[in-house]
Chain A
Amino acid sequence: MIKFTKFNLCALILGFSFLYIPIVLLIIFSFNESKLVTVWAGFSTKWYTELFNNQSIKDATWVTIQVAFISSTVATFLGTIAGIVITRFGSFKGRTLFSGMIYAPMVVPEVIIGLSLLLTFVALTIDRGIFTVTLAHITFSMCYVAVVVQSRMSSYDDSITEAALDLGCTPLKTFFVVTLPIIMPAVVSGWLLSFTLSLDDLVIASFTSGPGATTLPMKIYSMVRLGVTPEINAVSTILIGLVSIGVVSAAMINKYQKQKEYVQS
């Protein structure tokens, strides 16, 4: 076994400092009394109070939560099917195009996806608003779900499914009774990932949204353009807190599940 050297320790300390110092500073300055983000003038929660009195932020939050909830749920449904199709359906007509459409949205620049969806909605004369943002978010989120589900599917033992089918279980029932419970952790992480992707998206939402459907990232972006304020730090801190709770609890569920599987086997 190769040792963990001083170089490795330094790389980890420097690397994680680089990743975390900006976030930590952002959080600290959300509790700053002063309006200046760089001068510390004492602890205060007044920016949070101001935030809760800001109607446009509250409206944007509500829009974002609706979009994120609906889009992640539909994306999980479509993405799970897509992940299973890619790993278990062997070859079929148009498979290369299908896998291309699954992997490409993860790397194609967001401005291109946003522009193309907007022009499509205009061509189909669909009014832009919450509905179109939701459609756009489902489309890119389902690809991430498909990849998460696919990586879980490729490590699972197919003989269990075959056993169920041999014993006369219908394919649909086999899916719900055998496959789904096994891949459930991946499906749940896929849902959480879609939810945060939707919560974070600025570029695609800016293109596909219409009047009256300003999402929280769009609102934050327009505030940032006007200047750095502790209020933005406060709303960012709340978002970071929520996402961290989600990610950490998902990791713990996963760990618990693995331990359970280990005990059972």
Chain B
Amino acid sequence: MLSKYIFNGRNAVIAVPYIWLLILFLFPFLIVLKISFAEPIIAIPPFSSFFHWDGSFWPTIQASFYNYVFILEDSLYLNAYLSSLKIALISTLITLVIGYAIAYSITKAPTRWKGLLLLMVILPFWTSFLIRVYAWIGILKTEGLLNLMLLSLGITDQPLTIMNTNLAVYIGIVYSYLPFMILPIYANIEKMDGSLIEAAADLGCRPFKTFWKITIPLSIPGILAGCFLVFIPAVGEFVIPDLLGGTETLMIGKVLWIEFFSNRDWPLASAVAVILLAMLILPIMYYQKSQEKAIS
């Protein structure tokens, strides 16, 4: 009976990817949680151990809330979390406006163009993130191409300082995540029932009102999917604030990176990660639910 259950072909097929993800996706989170309760020590690995065996069968657990207290007491961390949320939220809204206009326009383009236009959206999505962020450095820096153009056209007489400011971070996030916004919205509008829009037009509704009252409400699932795909990773973004941001840019992904690589404080970095994940768990679960609903 037991062997039949274990060697059942169906279960074996499920088990292969399942076990892989358990070991290399779920289990690692438990390790992070465990280490976030440790204290940093100078050793390899640089943290105190969680379990202590002192002769008895059950180990005693040595958990310390030191890292969490430290994060909550130091306003640097709190500000970094809040400012990450703010930057991610504003960039998501800008990406939504630009992305919606592009996605909507592609759905209305002549059919023979659509394939090419979609390919042109997908192409940057496949191109290296790092390279696309790097491309903006040459444009935005003080002696960069944008200032060169503005000065030679006489639009400004002083070079603008955009590089190493939050504005550069917004540009970087909107630019890098734009395809993630366009694709789900496009897919949603494309399969929308056109007869509703025609009905509205027939009944004398003006195009702009039709768009506002019918197209937008019907495309909310696509809008939400796109917003989550941009917002959640943007909160923990590291490359963009690191390369385009300046001293005023405070983002938690960069704080985590510095704690880990520069300060080598693994327990503190783990606690930063645990709090970040706790903040994002609701949007992540919502995103998963909406994806589940999309298949069934």
Report the minimal beta-carbon distance from B241 to chain A, rounded to whole angstroms: 11
Q: Pick the contact of A22: B11, B31, B45, B135 (CB < 8 A).
A: B135
Q: Flag the segment in A44-52, A53-61, A79-87, A160-168 that touches B.
A: A79-87
A212 at the interface (CB under 8 A from B): no
B132 adjacent to chain A (CB < 8 Å)? yes
Cα-based distance from A81 to B110 in the complex (angstroms): 37
Closest chain-A Cβ to B26's Cβ sits at a distance in Å of 6
A81 to chain B, nearest CB (A): 5
Asked if B235 is at the interface (CB within 8 A of a chain A CB), the reply is: yes
Please determine whether A8 and B104 come into contact, CB atoms closer than 8 angstroms: yes
Residue among B21, B229, B235 making CB contact with A102, cutoff 8 Å: B21
Residue of A19, A23, A86 with highest tally of chain B CB at under 10 A: A19
Q: Scoring B residues 122 to 143 as 1 if CB is less than 8 Å from chain A, else 0, what string do you get?
A: 1110111111101111110101
> Chain B CB within 10 Å — which of A19, A111, A247 has the most?
A111
Q: Mark B1-45, 1 if CB is under 8 A from A, else 0.
A: 000000001110110111011101111110110010000000001
Q: Are the CB atoms of A109 and B135 closer together than 8 Å?
A: no
B168 contacts the other chain (Cβ, under 8 Å)? no
- CB of A36 to closest CB in B, whole Å: 8
Residue of A38, A78, A239 ringed by the most chain B CB atoms within 10 A: A38
- Using CB atoms, name the residue of chain A closest to B124: A19
**Min CB gap B17→A, angstroms:** 4
Chain B positions within 8 Å of A98 at CB level: 14, 17-18, 21
Q: Which of A3, A22, A113, A220 has the most CB of B within 10 A?
A: A22
B270 near A115 with CB under 8 A, answer: yes
Question: At the interface with chain A, which of B53-61, B63-71, B74-82, B273-281?
Answer: B273-281
Which chain A residues border B29 with CB–CB below 8 Å?
116
Q: Are the C-beta atoms of A111 and B117 separated by less than 8 Å?
A: no
Residues of B within 8 A of A106 (CB): 229
How extensive is the interface on chain B, given as a class? 35 or more
Residues in B whose Cβ lies below 8 Å from that of A78 = 16-17, 20
Secondary structure at the B interface, as helix, strand, loop or mixed, is helix
Q: Which residue of B lies closest to A202 (CB)?
A: B130
Q: For residue A221, which residues in chain B have a CB less than 8 angstroms away from its CB?
A: 130, 239
Q: Is the CB of A108 within 8 A of B32?
A: no
29 contacts between A and B (CB under 8 A): A5-B108, A8-B108, A9-B105, A11-B101, A16-B102, A18-B178, A22-B132, A25-B139, A38-B148, A85-B14, A98-B17, A101-B22, A102-B21, A104-B284, A106-B229, A107-B287, A108-B232, A112-B276, A119-B266, A120-B28, A138-B24, A154-B295, A172-B9, A228-B134, A228-B138, A243-B123, A248-B123, A251-B119, A255-B115
Residues of B within 8 A of A (CB): 9-11, 13-14, 16-18, 20-22, 24-29, 31-32, 35, 45, 98, 101-102, 104-106, 108-110, 115, 117, 119-124, 126-132, 134-139, 141, 143-145, 148, 175, 178-179, 194, 197, 201, 207, 228-229, 232-233, 235-239, 243, 253, 256-257, 260-261, 266, 269-270, 273, 276-277, 280, 283-285, 287-288, 291-292, 295
Instruction: Enumerate chain A interface residues (CB-CB to B < 8 A).
Output: 1-5, 7-9, 11-12, 15-16, 18-20, 22-23, 25-26, 29, 37-38, 78-79, 81-82, 84-87, 89, 92, 94, 97-113, 115-117, 119-120, 122-123, 135-136, 138-139, 142, 146, 150, 154, 171-172, 193, 196, 199-200, 202-203, 206-207, 217, 220-221, 224, 228, 232, 236, 239-240, 243-244, 246-248, 251, 255
